[in-house]
Structure 1
């Protein structure tokens, strides 16, 4: 039996969800990191990923201007960084410095990789779509990296609880 509920109540049942850290840069090359739950693969050939960012977010401005970003899958031990990057604006703070995360020079894009992440993917925006209060940015994945430490990837279980999974 089904019962009708508010959209908000239904959304609470979406967990667990993949949480990613997305790195962008301003025109002077200063990096910013945002935590996102709304992300997905969109194509295998060529490989593409989509991220959804609210119009008022600083990362939205940066990606709109530079048309590139890095998607990083956080690993176990990065829970505090996930929370920090999702609750502070890069307009006000250097998130790499504040979290102790390690910026690693990327090969094809200006935003740096995150050294502690299990996976990093360099992306160039090939399409964008405004959807209400968010924009979906579709990025072609130019190259990808995995950690030699092979740590589990963190998923958001809801209520700011994260759990690592390794299924490969």
Structure 2
């Protein structure tokens, strides 16, 4: 079951460093790309950072719309990550990655970008304009306006993949190499007295 996540805890969806799929839409066009360089920035207000190369067609839609969606794909979706992350929509006959790979989506509730079905977390984001950072460093700052997660693997503000290997988020290293999110464990805080 998909549940809303309190915005002050939305950073926990990204805090462990997974690769994400970023989608955007504007004036009837849509696109999706893999983004390994992403991170939470703040929890109140909920904010995050992503790096989007100037040559990306998805970036052009982000700049035009001022919004984007983040979907957290799973181990079972690594082919999707590689496909949308390594092939430009302009190289496809349909010019649409969603239709080319039959990617099922759900409309976002606060923005126009689609949310990729089958993932385990989703963030709806509005860009905080920072032209210098965007042009110089390809760095986009965004406010998270809605967050959701699959409660089979995320509840009470924590990831718990123990019984769901194929639902583990993944980390991209390079050259088609991935790591699946590993085992979780707890450590007690040190006493201060």
Structure-2-length-normalised TM-score? 0.71
Match of 2:150 in 1: 147
Shift of 1:97: 2.0
Contact 1:70-1:122 within 8 A present in 2 as well: yes
| Deviates most, 134-143 or 76-85 | 134-143
Shift of 1:51: 0.7
1:158 paired with 2:174, answer yes
Q: Distance between the aligned counterparts of 2:69 and 2:34, measured in 1?
A: 12
Contact 1:22-1:71 within 8 A present in 2 as well: yes
Report the number of matched residues.
151
Match of 1:113 in 2: 115
Match of 1:100 in 2: 102
What residue ranges of structure 1 are gaps of 5+ in the alignment?
A: 1-15
What residue ranges of structure 2 are gaps of 5+ in the alignment?
A: 1-15, 154-166, 186-193
Q: Distance between the aligned counterparts of 1:85 and 1:64, measured in 2?
A: 19
Shift of 1:148: 4.3
Match of 2:54 in 1: 55
Bigger proportion of residues as helix = 2
Match of 1:85 in 2: 84
Secondary structure of the residue aligned to 1:60 is helix
Match of 2:35 in 1: 36
Contact 1:32-1:94 within 8 A present in 2 as well: yes
Q: Distance between the aligned counterparts of 1:90 and 1:27, measured in 2?
A: 16
Q: Distance between the aligned counterparts of 2:84 and 2:152, measured in 1?
A: 23
Q: Distance between the aligned counterparts of 1:145 and 1:130, measured in 2?
A: 27
Q: Distance between the aligned counterparts of 2:119 and 2:101, measured in 1?
A: 13
Contact 2:26-2:65 within 8 A present in 1 as well: yes
Contact 1:32-1:95 within 8 A present in 2 as well: yes
Taking only aligned residues, the RMSD between alpha carbons, in angstroms, comes to 2.1
Shift of 1:47: 0.4
Query: After TM superposition, what 4+ stretches of structure 1 lie above 4 angstroms from structure 2?
Result: none
Q: Which structure has the bigger radius of gyration?
A: 2
Structure-1-length-normalised TM-score? 0.81
